[in-house]
């Protein structure tokens, strides 16, 4: 195993391949070994009964039928809202379900559920469900799902896997998250990009991300562990860290991470320390074209750097490497956009 690797973690496809092998299955059906393999590989999927395009209205009807939320919140338009959130690399659609405790009077709403539609390609949703199922059973991470330490992120785990049938009759899959509290940083920075609450939330994210990364950090020549190279520092990575996947609860001061299936890969092979910080910068800036994001991000990065180290020499090395990586990625994205434009211009109208 190379640098950053740890002892092998259960492969999500191993149980699938094993269970398909009839010579293995036949003598073991009904045994604890078989049930364990099946449980690790396949989560229980509940059908919603939804058919056609997935919309906020259909989700609202399903939630009322499923009685997952107090029935009183379905009696007035001011009581429950379902809005679309910004999606990341592993998400087809994201819906935020909020309730207004003061309804039917108008008032602020509280987030109660997050519903995420998984990618429609078989390989993607199949892998994602496996990854999520494995993450739920990883004890060191599961412990962070219990709110108790505001210096670390609270990890919100998927509690239910759901399915619905699209307009073509194909099964599509959803995940239901119950636990995230507060407001997403994407909502905060969109509403008030330079406000004190927004900057405070990004500052808090910097602190807890640094603490989380240091908790799981490895690397023989890691700058933060007595070595001299920041690129030799490896840790568990969210891998899709952007403001839509981070929530901040003003009341408790807790940061919540959602949409964590991409984290599974770094459980078995940890990734470079700065990856999440780079993603947090580029996804809003380049993919979403989020305006006025720099000030919020700077609040994050200053706190992140402060929490990683108080040594000025180490901080300078991290800052220098971060800017070099940022410049390289910006150049790569510029080349990708240029290539895409060339492809577009070479195609006949209507063929893209």
Per-residue pLDDT at 48: 92
Query: pLDDT tens digit string along 115-168?
Result: 988 876 544 545 555 666 666 666 677 666 565 789 999 888 766 788 899 988
Task: Report pLDDT digits (tens) over 227-285.
Answer: 999 999 999 999 889 998 899 999 899 999 988 777 877 887 899 999 999 999 998 98
Task: Tell whether omega for the bond before 119 is within 30 degrees of 0, i.e. cis.
Answer: no
Question: Measured in Å, how far apart are the chain's first and last C-alpha atoms?
Answer: 42
Is residue 234 within 8 Å of 246, Cβ to Cβ? Answer: no
What is the rounded CA–CA span in Å between residue 182 and residue 249? 4
Let me know if domain 185-337 sits in CATH 3.30.750.24: no
Q: What is the pTM of this model?
A: 0.76
Mean pLDDT over the full length of the chain: 82
Residue pair 279/237 in contact (Cβ under 8 Å)? The answer is: no
Integer Cα distance of 287 and 276 in angstroms:
15
Report the C-alpha gap between 7 and 240 in whole angstroms: 24
**Distance (Å, rounded) from C-alpha 90 to C-alpha 86?**
12
Task: Give the integer Cα–Cα distance in Å for 181 and 252.
Answer: 10
DSSP strand E in 128-238: where?
A: 154-155, 158-165, 171-177, 183-184, 234-235
> Domain boundaries in the chain?
12-41, 49-177, 185-337
């Amino acid at each position: 195993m190379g640098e950053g690797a740890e002892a092998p973690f259960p492969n999500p496809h191993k149980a699938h391949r094993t269970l398909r092998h009839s010579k293995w299955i036949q003598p073991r059906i009904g045994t604890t070994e078989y049930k364990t393999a099946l449980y690790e590989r396949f989560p229980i999927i509940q059908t919603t009964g939804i058919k056609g395009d997935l919309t906020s209205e259909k989700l609202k009807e399903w939630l009322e039928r499923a009685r997952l939320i107090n029935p009183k919140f379905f009696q007035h338009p001011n009581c429950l809202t379902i809005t679309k959130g910004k999606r990341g690399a592993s998400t087809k659609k994201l819906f935020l379900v909020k309730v207004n405790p003061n309804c039917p009077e108008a008032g602020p709403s509280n987030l109660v559920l997050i519903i995420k539609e998984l990618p429609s390609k078989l390989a993607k949703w199949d892998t994602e469900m496996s990854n999520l199922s494995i993450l739920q059973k990883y004890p060191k991470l599961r412990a962070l799902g219990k709110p108790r330490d505001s210096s670390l992120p609270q990890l919100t785990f998927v509690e239910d896997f759901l399915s619905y049938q699209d307009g073509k009759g194909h099964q599509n899959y959803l995940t239901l998250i119950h636990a995230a509290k507060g407001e997403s940083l994407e909502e905060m920075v969109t509403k008030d990009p330079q406000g004190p609450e927004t900057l405070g939330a990004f500052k808090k994210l910097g602190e807890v991300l640094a603490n989380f990364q240091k908790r799981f950090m490895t690397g023989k020549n890691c700058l933060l562990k007595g070595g001299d190279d920041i690129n030799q520092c490896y840790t568990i990575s969210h891998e899709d860290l952007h403001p839509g996947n981070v929530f901040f609860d003003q009341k408790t001061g807790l940061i919540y991470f959602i949409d964590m299936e991409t984290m599974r890969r770094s459980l078995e092979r940890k990734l470079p320390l700065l990856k999440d910080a780079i993603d947090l910068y580029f996804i809003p800036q380049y993919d979403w074209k989020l305006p006025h994001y720099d000030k919020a991000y700077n609040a994050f990065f200053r706190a992140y750097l402060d929490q990683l180290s108080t040594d000025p020499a180490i901080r300078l090395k991290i800052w220098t490497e971060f800017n070099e990586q940022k410049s390289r990625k910006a150049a790569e994205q510029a080349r990708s956009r240029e290539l895409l434009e060339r492809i577009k211009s070479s195609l006949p109208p209507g063929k893209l």
